[in-house]
Amino acid sequence: MPVVSSPDYRFQLLQQWEGRVSNISDAEFTAVLRDLTDPSKPDEEATFSLEEIPEQDKGLVVTGAIFYWVIGYRMSASGQKTRSSDLRFRRLPVWTRAEIKRLAKRAEEFGEVLGIGRSASAAG
């Protein structure tokens, strides 16, 4: 089991998933979970209360957003062992102007080969 140490505690990782939000309602969201600890395990779907998400992260909960769910044991310096669960949304990188230009260029190359003509710029 991987163990992460800090001056105050050690963290023993038991399980980690990458989640992708597939649906959001007023109080809940549903996500498809991909097992990062044992990638041979099939995807599953789970529904969570939005209350599980820290207030500052709630704006990140949108369809298609990516988050990580980590379960493990926190062991304090005094020897106390606590089971912990952490749902953390990834602050996704954004599309830059240069990347959007690269997309358009690649599309243009495909378009020329496939005979579809010149590519449009991405929106924005």
Write out the residues near another protein by the rule CB under 8 A.
14-15, 20, 22-23, 28, 30, 32, 35, 41-49, 52, 62-66, 69, 71, 73, 83, 85, 87, 92-97, 99-100, 102-104, 106-111, 113-120, 122-124
Kindly state the tokens that stand for 103.
Answer: 């997309």
Residue 5 beta carbon to another protein: minimum distance, rounded to whole angstroms: 20
Cβ(69)–Cβ(86) below 8 Å:
yes
For 26-48, give the DSSP string: SSEEEEEEEESS-TTSPPEEEEE
56/114 with CB nearer another protein: 114
7/124 with CB nearer another protein: 124
Residue 7 beta carbon to another protein: minimum distance, rounded to whole angstroms: 25
Residue 79 beta carbon to another protein: minimum distance, rounded to whole angstroms: 18
Residue in the block written with tokens 């988050």: 67
7/118 with CB nearer another protein: 118
Kindly state the tokens that stand for 7.
Answer: 């001056």
- Strand, coil or helix: 89: strand
- Which one-letter amino acid corresponds to residue 114? L
Length of the chain: 124
Residue 36 beta carbon to another protein: minimum distance, rounded to whole angstroms: 13
